[in-house]
Chain A
Amino acid sequence: MTAPAKTIARSTTRVSPWRPPLLRSLPLRLVVFAICALWTIPTLGLLVTSVRNPELISTTGWWTALFNPFAAGQWTLGNYSEVIASGGMGPAFINSLIVTVPATVIPITIAAFAAYAFAWIPFRGRGILFTIVVGLLVVPIQMSLIPVLKLYSGASLYGTFLGIWLAHTGFGLPLAIFLLYNFISQLPRDLFESAAIDGASHMQSFIRIALPLSIPALGAFAIFQFLWVWNDLLVALTFLGPSTDLRVMPTALYALLGSRGGQWQLLTAGAFVTMALPLLVFIVLQRAFVRGILAGSVKS
């Protein structure tokens, strides 16, 4: 996991070996510019529309606003205040935080303990149990929905925050254990052996050695799981149910699509509210995120 991370860190400073110096030609630059434009314009359109006057949105294209940006009455923040207050995006934002933070911390904690045991505590059945974890990595979430829903209605966990944390925890665990195991099992054996000689219990070794050293891996998975839970629609629809009190960002945006489908000023503002936090997290922590993705998909 450290190897690809280093590659990425280097990539911004080092000249790639297969880049011949004379190939920075104009056509190439134009193609790259066109690709970047193509990938940016849809989001730009959303952003521009979300701060435009609603009357203008339905009569002119959003790009016309860019040609005379100083026209009177062109811009407004009213769409945001409307969508946050009456559109329900305000409470949904708080609900999303309530769902996402524990649904990120709980699986990481549980997975870190399990990964440590799989890596450093010999016990009967360790091999077969970890093989099962690897097998569960790709099982579609759809296989779980109906039986878990049945369990939930029996245990009155349906439509509760506790229920959805546990669901996200269960579904996120295989990947979390797998990634953290890959990292923790690579830590130097000497560290744990000398700690054991000093009389440290496994609990102490885990908390004082494995955990602090695994912060890069823990952080990478945290960003991963945070984005996954924050952006999840299916699990929220299934286990939180239709109650307006329990809407999270994606279900609130879906409700907005159903009730105000034609009102682009609200849809675009609402969509941007759902995207704001993940985009911020992503931009600030891009390095760690990339590291997590590489660790999750590249076998060293």
Chain B
Amino acid sequence: MAVFPRSVKAPTSRFILPILGLVALALCVGGILVLIDHHGAENLLASIYDALGNSSGAQALRNGQGDQLIAKLVLMAVALGVGVGGIWLLFLGLGGLAGMLRPAWRDRILPWVFVGPALILLATYLLYPGIATFARSFFDSKGAFTFDNYAVMTSSDFVEILRNNVIWLIVAAGGSVILGLVFAGLFDRVRREALAKTLVFLPLAISLIGASVIWGFMYAWEPAGQPQIGLLNAAVVAAGGQAIPFFTTNPLNIMAEIVIMIWLETGFAMVVLSAAIKGVSTEIIEAARLDGANERQLFLRVIVPAIRGSIVTVTTTIAIVTLKIFDIIYVTTGGRFGDDVVANRMFHEMFQFFNDGRASALATLLFLAVLPVMYINLRNFRRQQRDL
């Protein structure tokens, strides 16, 4: 283990460190100014060009032309310097300041240096906004108190949205978990297990919008008589059927979109459940086999109950992702064909109808839906703390 010498420093470093700190601080402030200014990078590069004597290049940049790509790269360098260096400067600087205090004070202040930035960000980005959104959901656009934002949820188009979310929750979350469980069980018994798993797992790295384009191409539809370039409709036509416009046919479009989600999330369920299956003790399995259990019984009556905990965690994790589903609907149909969901409608209330109250009410509904999970998490956490 490293030995930590008590801080006996050479006298020069007592001056050099604070000076370096101040220089770094100045650079960071400058960097932040460049980042906040919408033409910051162009102006910075133009100044560099001026200093190098390339005034025509500088002029071009200031006019919004010239080496825009280089300006982008300058911006990236500034971004990395400020983002990565700035955060370390913050902690080391505050830690250094706390270190100068008397020991009693230092011990009281130091923990808050460590947790302070995290707490400020959590309060700014989650705690305060959550409360503000909840409060906002009880006001109309003129600022008067009202329950209308919730009352409107009983109108037919909102009932349809809520129903769609329930369908998503059941089919997408249930489908991913069941398929993940079955795949985990099946792949465990073939030779190229790792490869098979990777192939199913791979989509998890793909964005929801990327997956929507991939499947949009699978579902592509052309009018009858034209060549079908989407694999599914080509198959339908080859089998003698009529090409189906998947995304505009309700309620088929809901299922078509859910398939995208299942395609993405099954790999996640499979990997977690597969690890859990491999953790089931050999003795239990051997004992069941000795008792004459066949393979299906073994899987359903021994393995599945043994990994119940993992199944519950995977299900809640995927359920929460599914509940907030936005991207797939937003980019495939925009929710215009009877397939709208809460998060997509909330986005449209926010940016299209500018109805913040109603958007807040929709967000609050999502929050209420995850409350049970939050309760379970907190209970488990408390129990864990007690056991330690």
Contact = CB atoms under 8 A, between A and B. Distances in A.
Interface of A: 3-4, 7-8, 10-12, 14, 16-20, 23-24, 28-29, 31-32, 35-36, 39-43, 45-46, 49, 57-63, 91, 94-95, 97-98, 101-103, 105-106, 109-111, 113-114, 116-118, 121-123, 126-127, 129, 131-148, 151, 156-157, 159-162, 165-167, 169-171, 173-174, 177, 191, 194-195, 198-204, 206, 208-209, 227, 230-234, 237, 245, 249-250, 253-254, 257, 264, 267-268, 270-271, 274-275, 278-279, 281-283, 286, 290, 293-294, 296-299
10 contacts: A35-B200, A91-B68, A147-B129, A170-B121, A174-B122, A199-B6, A232-B207, A233-B331, A253-B209, A279-B206
Contact of B186 (A32, A132, A165, A257): A32
B274 A166 contact: no
B261 to A, nearest CB: 13
Nearest to A62: B229
Nearest to A29: B190
Contacts of B189: 16, 19, 23-24, 28
B213 A113 contact: no
Contacts of B303: 18
A191 to B, nearest CB: 7
Given A19-B189, A129-B119, A253-B209, A45 B83 contact: no
Nearest to A91: B72
B207 A24 contact: no
Nearest to A200: B4
Contacts of A294: 271-272, 275
Nearest to B327: A233
Given A121-B110, A161-B79, A143 B129 contact: yes
B280 interface: yes
A45 B278 contact: no
Interface stretch (B50-58, B154-162, B165-173, B318-326): B318-326
Given A159-B38, A290-B271, A171 B125 contact: yes
A157 B275 contact: no
B244 interface: no
Interface in B74-133: 75-76, 79-80, 82-84, 87-88, 91-92, 95, 99, 108, 110-115, 117-119, 121-122, 124-130, 132-133
The SS class assigned to the B binding surface is helix
A144 B343 CA distance: 13
A134 B3 CA distance: 36
Given A147-B128, A293-B271, 13 more contacts: A11-B275, A16-B278, A35-B196, A35-B200, A91-B68, A95-B72, A114-B114, A123-B108, A138-B370, A171-B125, A250-B327, A281-B205, A282-B205
B118 A113 contact: yes
B125 A170 contact: yes
A137 B119 CA distance: 14
A271 B313 contact: no
B377 A144 contact: no
B227 interface: yes
A283 B199 CA distance: 10
A145 B196 CA distance: 39
Contacts of A157: 36
Q: Which 9 A-B pairs have the closest CB atoms?
A: A170-B125, A102-B83, A231-B207, A117-B114, A282-B205, A114-B118, A123-B111, A147-B129, A200-B4
Interface stretch (B13-21, B143-151, B248-256, B357-365): B357-365
Nearest to B77: A98
B286 A162 contact: no
Interface string B330-357: 1100000000000100110010000010
B199 A8 contact: no
A234 B289 CA distance: 50
A126 B112 CA distance: 10
B127 A136 contact: yes
A250 B92 CA distance: 35
B275 A170 contact: no
B378 A94 contact: no
A43 B381 CA distance: 40
Contact of B75 (A98, A142, A270): A98
Nearest to A273: B210
A109 B87 contact: yes
Given A11-B275, A201-B99, A298-B276, A146 B111 contact: no
A47 to B, nearest CB: 10
Interface residues of B, number: 142
B246 interface: no
A160 B2 contact: no
A17 B83 contact: no
A23 B121 CA distance: 54
Contacts of B381: 131, 134
A193 B187 CA distance: 46
A20 B188 CA distance: 10
A264 B87 contact: no
B275 A7 contact: yes
Contacts of A62: 229, 231
B363 A298 contact: no
Contacts of A200: 4
- The residue in B87, B193, B370 that gathers the most chain A C-beta atoms within 10 A of its C-beta is B87
A126 B111 CA distance: 9
A199 B313 contact: no
Contacts of B4: 195, 198-200, 204, 208
Contacts of B95: 201, 203
A63 B235 CA distance: 12
A59 B367 CA distance: 47
Contact of A121 (B111, B124, B272): B111
B205 A61 contact: no
A161 to B, nearest CB: 5
Given A18-B303, A282-B204, A24 B191 contact: yes
Contacts of B181: none
Nearest to B135: A147
Contacts of A171: 125-126
Interface string B259-296: 00001001110011011111111100110000000010
